């Protein structure tokens, strides 16, 4: 797995309070502002897979989902690239939503998400799935009808593996599809089922971005921009 190094202090802006942060050996705890609540999130001081960072797309995504509550509630959700678990914890606390976290097969990541669940009052901890993009799933019939992720397009070499994972999850739920939609806009009543919702707040080169979205289309997936750098990806009719 490639690594990409960034400075956490450059990412948070008004969403975190450095005055309320605490450093303990290999971890930093920060208080982050999400819509309607504060979360205390423990982050790795360093992690080779960047699971230490709470990316800006998570905050933008949280605000968007609050505005589109009816599109999210009642869905069975898995989050890819959960990192600290902050976004999933927010959704669980806000709506008691059925959500599973997922990230690279790394015990430290899983343990840290469980810790963040505990200190934010989410007990028992959210179910977690260790999964490396592109690998086979332990379950051939996963239950999730909505996949979410924020700021996960850092590793260009992993795009095809990510698309393979998305294709499997979307195909696995095709028999349960309840809503057939050829386009989405602010007046629509919901999202396709199943669907992948992605927030992408960080900027990458246009060629790299096109590589991912082009790869999705080559795999038979429809890509639609819903505004605010939120994308919905689903199988074409």
Give me the domains of the chain, ranges plus CATH numbers: 56-235 (3.40.50.150)
What is the pLDDT of the chain when averaged over all its residues? 83
- In this predicted structure, the answer to whether residue 178 has a pLDDT above a threshold of 80 is no
Looking at per-residue confidence, does 30 or 187 come out higher? 30
pLDDT at residue 6, as a whole number: 33
Q: Answer yes or no: is pLDDT of 177 > 60.
A: no
Q: Specify the pLDDT at position 13.
A: 42
Q: Higher model confidence: residue 154 or residue 177?
A: 154
CA dist 215 and 221 (Å) reads 9
Please give the full DSSP string across 69-115, using - where no structure is assigned.
HHHHTT-EEEESS-TT-HHHHHHHHHH--EEEEEESS-HHHHHHHHH
Q: Is there a contact between 95 and 72 (Cβ–Cβ < 8 Å)?
A: yes
CA atoms within 13 A on the CB side of 98: 8
Q: What confidence tens digit (pLDDT) does each residue in 102-129 have?
A: 998 889 999 999 999 999 999 999 999 9
Q: What is the pLDDT of residues 7-65, one digit of tens each?
A: 333 333 446 554 445 545 688 899 999 999 999 999 987 666 555 678 788 999 999 99
pLDDT band at 133 (very low <50, low <70, confident <90, very high): very high
pLDDT (0 to 100) of residue 65: 97
**Is pLDDT above 60 for 186?**
no
* Arithmetic mean of pLDDT, 148-159: 92
Residue 184 has pLDDT above 60, yes or no: no
At residue 160, the pLDDT reads: 97
Residue 105: CB atoms within 10 Å = 11
Residues 175, 179: Cα–Cα separation, whole Å: 11
């Amino acid at each position: 797995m490639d690594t990409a190094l960034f400075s956490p202090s450059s990412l948070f802006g008004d969403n975190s309070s450095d005055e309320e942060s605490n450093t303990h050996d290999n971890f930093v705890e920060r208080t982050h502002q999400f819509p309607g609540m504060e979360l205390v999130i423990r982050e790795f001081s360093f992690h080779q897979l960047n699971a230490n960072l709470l990316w800006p797309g998570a905050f933008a995504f949280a605000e968007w989902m609050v505005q589109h509550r009816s599109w999210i509630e009642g869905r069975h959700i898995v989050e890819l690239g959960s990192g600290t678990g902050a976004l999933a914890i927010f959704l669980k606390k806000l709506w008691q939503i059925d959500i599973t976290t997922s990230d690279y097969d790394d015990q430290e990541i899983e343990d840290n998400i469980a810790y963040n669940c505990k200190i934010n009052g989410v007990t028992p901890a959210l179910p977690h799935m260790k999964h490396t993009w592109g690998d086979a799933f332990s379950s051939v019939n996963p239950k999730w009808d909505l996949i979410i992720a924020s700021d996960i397009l850092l590793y260009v070499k992993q795009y095809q593996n990510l698309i393979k994972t998305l294709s499997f999850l979307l195909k696995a739920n095709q028999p349960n599809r309840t809503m057939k939609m050829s386009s989405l806009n602010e007046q629509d009543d919901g999202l396709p089922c199943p669907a992948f919702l992605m927030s992408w707040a960080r900027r990458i080169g246009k060629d790299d971005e096109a590589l991912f979205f082009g790869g999705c289309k080559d795999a038979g997936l429809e890509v639609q921009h819903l505004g605010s750098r939120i994308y919905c990806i689903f199988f074409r009719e």
